[in-house]
Structure 1
Amino acid sequence: MTLNKDLIRNVAIIAHVDHGKTTLVDGLLKQSHTFRDNQAEMQQTLIMDSMDQEHERGITITAKQTCVYYNGYKINIIDTPGHADFSGEVERTLNMADGVFLIVDAQEGPMPQTKFVLQKALELNLKPVVIINKIDKPAARIEEVKDEIESLFLELATDESQLFYPIYYAVAREGRAGKTTNLDDDLHVIFESIINDIPAPEVDSNNESAQLLVAALAADNYLGKYCIGKIFRGHLKKGQAVKILHNGEIKSGKVEKIFVYKGLGKEEVEKAIAGDIVAVTGVAEANIGDTIATGDSPEALPTIELEAPTLSIYIGPNTSPLKGREGEFTTSRQIAERLERELETNIALKIKPDGLGYKVSGRGELHLSVLIETMRREGYELEAGRPEVVYKEIDGVKCEPIESLTVGVAPEFVGAVSQELGIRKAELKSQEITTTGSTRFVYEISTAALIGLRNNLLTATKGTVIMSSIPSGYKPVDAKYKPERNGALISFETGTSTAYALDAAQARGILYIPPQVPVYQGMIVGLSNKKDDLDINVCREKQLTNMRTHASDGAIQLTPYTQLSLEQCLDFLLDDELLEVTPKSLRLRKRQLDPVKRKRENRNS
């Protein structure tokens, strides 16, 4: 059967984090017989999450494309991230879709990122289909969630037709869905919805000159760079000469190979038609947002508009006394080349030189920390500074980004949450008791005050808090938020930490290092009990004498040290501190390592 645009469906799966997007895609892949019954993928979950960090964190970080066939229809599926920090991935990939499946948790209902992704989809006039997932939860509140979704559409719709949307119900984990809460044994109702509710691509297939908007990039060692996007007009052929349109500039290129998606892989074709999502090679000059076109007078498609970054962080070469011992790539030039490569695919990032290193701006702490962790795993050694807010001048007034923060917490921790957010000058917008008995707050808070909040709330609520935020605009800077933290315990000796010295030091605060690790002067080894920094010796060894006492001969009992994650280390930092990141270690340190010079600088400031 010859494929035409009427037999193609391009659908994006959008939702708040952990509402079941990738799990639903798993079910669609398995039930469309994309894999043989004996293939390993049939026993896997979260098949589309290919990065190690995606499996470890349990979130989707990068958007992925896959394709399944059902009753003669070709269905291109785009799995998007659900975390606000990776909303740049959502913005660029929605351009390839003609409709969206909005998945909403039957207990949690619409959450902040639900609003963000739906708003983007409606702005692009994509046809929405709602799936209420996880209806088997004991605390599911299906009718209330339907009302909340309706209110969300009323708030965001740009056209009256967008208020009419089909609703389906599902337990994606079991691969079941239905038009009512009495679910079928499979997902055939979802496949039928894709065919009947999602429109065929609105493209011009009769025009001979092609137009493809590059929405994503990929690469391999064999064919190099792939440009991924939807063909909006005409058709592309293997070996065809093309023009690459970028900000008014026109460059020449040639399509070497064309691939379409099939399951988790790609298959090569001689020709691709309008409406299909393809990956092409041979046009290495093209970047995300560029148009690949043919014909005598090529025309550019509208570029992809992105939200501005809200946080920045300093990333530069490691300058500590232990530099070069644990990493493969350590120089400023190597770090610059890696960041430039990141810019090609991670278009929500902005990078500019800053001293020895670079100021890297992104959507949030998670967005930036994932980049640092990725570089670390690739063998890079670097140092990072405290995350800083990216300010914006509006009508001559300095403004800071504001976020809408939703916090869900058990009743016994309401006081702790209110106190922490009060200190951070957050403004309470609404408060309600959910059907599960927990309290849900909605706050307006500055992005600056949001730094480090998650870790503090996790500690205050014994790890039970549920929180998420999305950008909600800018407002004039009122008073710069200053983080409050006790002083640091700082090593004033270089050497190896000893149990004897740490036994004495643990009375001064919380230790971040165990015995027998290398330390250097100016390295932070713990958090003090007091407000001021304290220089201590963690390398001191017990003096050997011929005197024996019953008390001194006992084994030293150290309190287990606190091992901080990368995000916790970044949250810990103050302006005069840095984080040393290597493939093997995370070390906190002062910018000025010499204690005498550091005290002099503090007095002068």
Structure 2
Amino acid sequence: MRTDLHPRTTDRLAAVRNLGILAHVDAGKTTVTERILYLTGTTHKRGEVHDGTTVTDFDPQERDRGITIFAAAVSCDWDGHRINLIDTPGHVDFADEVERSLRVLDGAVAVFDAVAGVEPQSESVWRQADRHGVPRIAFVNKLDRAGADLDAAVDSIRRRLHPAPLVVQLPIGTEDGFTGVVDLLRMRALVWSGGDTDTCEEGPVPDALVEEALRRRRVLEEAVAELHPLALEEFCAESTLSARTLAAALRDLTRTGEGVVVLCGSAYRNRGIEPLLEAVVAYLPSPLDVPAVRGTRDGAEQERAADPAGPFAALVFKVSSTSTGRLTYLRVYSGTVGKGEAVLDVGRRRTERISRILRVQADRHAEVDRAVAGDIVAVVGVKAARAGATLCVPSAPLVLEPPSVADPVVSVAVEARRRTDIERLVTALARLVEEDPSLAVRTDSETGQTVLSGMGELHLEVAVEKVRRAHGLDVGVGRPQVAYRETVGRGVSGLVYRHVKQDGGAGQFAHVVLDTEPLEAAAGDGDGGFAFRSAVV
């Protein structure tokens, strides 16, 4: 943690957590988010996915389909800490939304289904977080379901994701009888009463679970001692670890990525969310705890620390069009920006003026006067910046590394059914690509058709439906086509063909020996395309 900042600045930044909720589709990400908002007092009614009343799944398509499609940012307060939270999609077609979100996050909560364990997209988002070096804690959800098994889910995390899972809770009850957890650090029971309020009551560990809780506490201590040098010293000297040492070691291991704290609960029944929030505050890093962001200026690499007094630098990670205008979502890495100030879009070399700064609550917004280092906000007034752009103070330009964008893999032809709508369709598609960089639009040179490309059929369905609903266009869509390329994977030598044709006259004869190899492996042949070399002597 930086200590050269003003004490008040240090205290404010240390109380900020920028985190995302990651998981496979239907693991319960949005329900976890809704329970966090309800518990922190941000909302006064628990939203339900199946009722279409969630805060973060506010888009009509998300409510119709019952899945998260667009990453949604919300802010809430818990125990004196500001939590900026992004609920990310779980479907593979929207992995680019997850990629852009992870680029600006300091930590994450990975949600797993207690019955299914690690699912395919769980593995994908975990690898994405690995690439960005985002510290995580794990929450095994849906322990109230038939077949739920915490140990089996943890074992799948260990086998498929290869972290060191550090389980800090023991469930009280199984399946429909799941009522609470034993906190293995403080050796206490947390039981939820049930009913509409579902309040949490703290008490002693049930007699029937004391022996099992002590055994698991010992397993946790041994696992932590193997990974943390200071914990190992205390464990060797005392043969045990104090709760204070254990908590400090868990925090260090989480932030370095050497271990993953595992909690459990049932978000739908509102059980396990309070301990999850406590773990977010205790173990995940603040903007001060992560390395300073790196960028380039005039070809030289520079660092910008999370200092509100430093030169302003922010990364655009999302753009959307709403009834209030064009919203540009920023992660502020350094400095402070206020309403009415001019900022530089470094990539376009264009100066923009910020007219409003909004604290985002999904589709609702609260206007603020300024944004400082560590904040995730939306701004109005930036007209041209796209996702991945760097906004900074004009006197100190810096280019931050943008999120990577995957190449589209599926394409469909789209056309306006009425000739009078052609211009409107072109405008709608341009706006669509501006908001979602993983989409691409081109005109087929052979057919003259407008082709929309994306990450999958669902991705394209959502995009086309958005054009229909937002712009009132009647759009025709062709059959999806997969974009793929074939090339030589490995060399093959000695393919022989003998051609003999004798039907009068001189006749024909040929003896062909063909060798193939990847072009990159052929010395002096460049780095792509096709080359033919005759070796006839």
Answer yes or no: same fold by TM over 0.5.
yes
Task: Provide, for residues 139-195 of structure 1, a one-character-per-residue CA deviation record: whole Å limited to 9, x for no partner.
Answer: 1132121111012332899x9942401000010001111xxxxxxxxx211111111
Letter in structure 2 aligned against 1:269: V
Note the C-alpha offset of 1:28.
0.6
Letter in structure 1 aligned against 2:284: I
**Counterparts of 1:117 and 1:275, CA distance in 2:** 23
**Counterparts of 1:125 and 1:291, CA distance in 2:** 21
Equivalent pair of 1:210/1:295 in contact (CA under 8 Å): no
Match of 2:328 among 214, 217, 227: 227
**Counterparts of 1:25 and 1:8, CA distance in 2:** 17
SS in structure 2 at match of 1:152: helix
Note the C-alpha offset of 1:35.
2.8
Equivalent pair of 1:13/1:100 in contact (CA under 8 Å): yes
Match of 1:383 in 2: 476
**Counterparts of 2:406 and 2:15, CA distance in 1:** 34
Match of 2:399 in 1: 300
SS in structure 2 at match of 1:370: helix
Letter in structure 2 aligned against 1:218: S
Q: Describe the shift of the 1:258–1:393 C-alpha distance in structure 2 as closer, same or farther (beyond 3 A).
A: farther
Match of 1:560 in 2: none
Match of 2:103 among 74, 95, 99: 95
Match of 1:172 in 2: 267
**Counterparts of 1:396 and 1:146, CA distance in 2:** 38
Matched, 1:236 2:362: no
Structure 2 counterparts to residues 67-216 of structure 1, below 5 A: 67-154=75-162, 161-177=256-272, 187-201=273-287, 202=290, 203-205=305-307, 208-216=310-318
**Counterparts of 2:323 and 2:55, CA distance in 1:** 23
Match of 2:33 in 1: 25
Q: What TM-score do the two structures reach when normalised by structure 2?
A: 0.65
Match of 1:47 in 2: 55
Note the C-alpha offset of 1:122.
1.2
Q: Describe the shift of the 1:370–1:119 C-alpha distance in structure 2 as closer, same or farther (beyond 3 A).
A: same
Q: Describe the shift of the 1:393–1:302 C-alpha distance in structure 2 as closer, same or farther (beyond 3 A).
A: farther
Structure 2 counterparts to residues 7-22 of structure 1, below 5 A: 7-22=15-30
Note the C-alpha offset of 1:238.
1.6
**Counterparts of 1:290 and 1:24, CA distance in 2:** 31
Letter in structure 1 aligned against 2:433: L
Residue ranges of structure 1 left out of the alignment (5+ in a row)? 178-186, 319-323, 398-605
Residue ranges of structure 2 left out of the alignment (5+ in a row)? 1-7, 166-253, 291-304, 491-537
**Counterparts of 1:263 and 1:206, CA distance in 2:** 25
**Counterparts of 2:267 and 2:78, CA distance in 1:** 18
Task: Provide, for residues 485-505 of structure 1, a one-character-per-residue CA deviation record: whole Å limited to 9, x for no partner.
Answer: xxxxxxxxxxxxxxxxxxxxx
Equivalent pair of 2:73/2:361 in contact (CA under 8 Å): no
Note the C-alpha offset of 1:393.
6.3
**Counterparts of 2:454 and 2:46, CA distance in 1:** 42
Q: Describe the shift of the 1:155–1:359 C-alpha distance in structure 2 as closer, same or farther (beyond 3 A).
A: farther
SS in structure 2 at match of 1:173: coil
**Counterparts of 1:29 and 1:197, CA distance in 2:** 20
Equivalent pair of 1:98/1:199 in contact (CA under 8 Å): yes
SS in structure 1 at match of 2:405: coil
Letter in structure 1 aligned against 2:350: K
**Counterparts of 2:362 and 2:405, CA distance in 1:** 29
Structure 2 counterparts to residues 386-535 of structure 1, below 5 A: 386-392=479-485
SS in structure 2 at match of 1:174: coil
Equivalent pair of 2:336/2:373 in contact (CA under 8 Å): yes
**Counterparts of 1:192 and 1:27, CA distance in 2:** 14
Q: Describe the shift of the 1:396–1:317 C-alpha distance in structure 2 as closer, same or farther (beyond 3 A).
A: farther
Matched, 1:371 2:463: yes
Q: Which moved more, 1:273-282 or 1:29-38?
A: 29-38
Match of 1:281 in 2: 380
Note the C-alpha offset of 1:49.
0.9
Q: Describe the shift of the 1:221–1:106 C-alpha distance in structure 2 as closer, same or farther (beyond 3 A).
A: closer
**Counterparts of 1:95 and 1:156, CA distance in 2:** 24
**Counterparts of 2:488 and 2:373, CA distance in 1:** 44
Q: Describe the shift of the 1:4–1:251 C-alpha distance in structure 2 as closer, same or farther (beyond 3 A).
A: same
Note the C-alpha offset of 1:136.
1.2
Q: What TM-score do the two structures reach when normalised by structure 1?
A: 0.58
Match of 1:485 in 2: none
SS in structure 2 at match of 1:96: coil
Note the C-alpha offset of 1:293.
0.3
Q: Describe the shift of the 1:21–1:109 C-alpha distance in structure 2 as closer, same or farther (beyond 3 A).
A: same
Equivalent pair of 1:258/1:279 in contact (CA under 8 Å): yes
Match of 2:436 in 1: 346
Task: Provide, for residues 309-343 of structure 1, a one-character-per-residue CA deviation record: whole Å limited to 9, x for no partner.
Answer: 1111111223xxxxx4xxxx853222111100101
**Counterparts of 1:392 and 1:350, CA distance in 2:** 18
**Counterparts of 1:170 and 1:282, CA distance in 2:** 42
**Counterparts of 1:395 and 1:212, CA distance in 2:** 43
**Counterparts of 1:383 and 1:263, CA distance in 2:** 31
Task: Provide, for residues 57-100 of structure 1, a one-character-per-residue CA deviation record: whole Å limited to 9, x for no partner.
Answer: 11111010001101111101100000001111111111221111
Q: Describe the shift of the 1:288–1:393 C-alpha distance in structure 2 as closer, same or farther (beyond 3 A).
A: farther
User: Percent of counterpart pairs with the same letter?
Assistant: 30
Q: Describe the shift of the 1:169–1:40 C-alpha distance in structure 2 as closer, same or farther (beyond 3 A).
A: closer
Task: Provide, for residues 365-400 of structure 1, a one-character-per-residue CA deviation record: whole Å limited to 9, x for no partner.
Answer: 111111222223342122222111112466799xxx
Letter in structure 2 aligned against 1:261: V
Measured on the aligned residues, the alpha-carbon RMSD in Å equals: 2.8
Note the C-alpha offset of 1:252.
1.0
SS in structure 2 at match of 1:232: strand
Task: Provide, for residues 477-523 of structure 1, a one-character-per-residue CA deviation record: whole Å limited to 9, x for no partner.
Answer: xxxxxxxxxxxxxxxxxxxxxxxxxxxxxxxxxxxxxxxxxxxxxxx
**Counterparts of 1:333 and 1:215, CA distance in 2:** 28
Equivalent pair of 2:150/2:264 in contact (CA under 8 Å): no
Structure 2 counterparts to residues 303-342 of structure 1, below 5 A: 303-318=402-417, 324=418, 331-342=421-432
SS in structure 1 at match of 2:346: strand
Match of 2:319 in 1: 217
**Counterparts of 2:332 and 2:436, CA distance in 1:** 22
Q: Describe the shift of the 1:395–1:244 C-alpha distance in structure 2 as closer, same or farther (beyond 3 A).
A: farther
Q: Which moved more, 1:300-309 or 1:374-383?
A: 374-383
Equivalent pair of 1:239/1:256 in contact (CA under 8 Å): yes
Letter in structure 1 aligned against 2:317: A
Letter in structure 2 aligned against 1:33: G
Note the C-alpha offset of 1:264.
5.8
Match of 1:254 in 2: 353
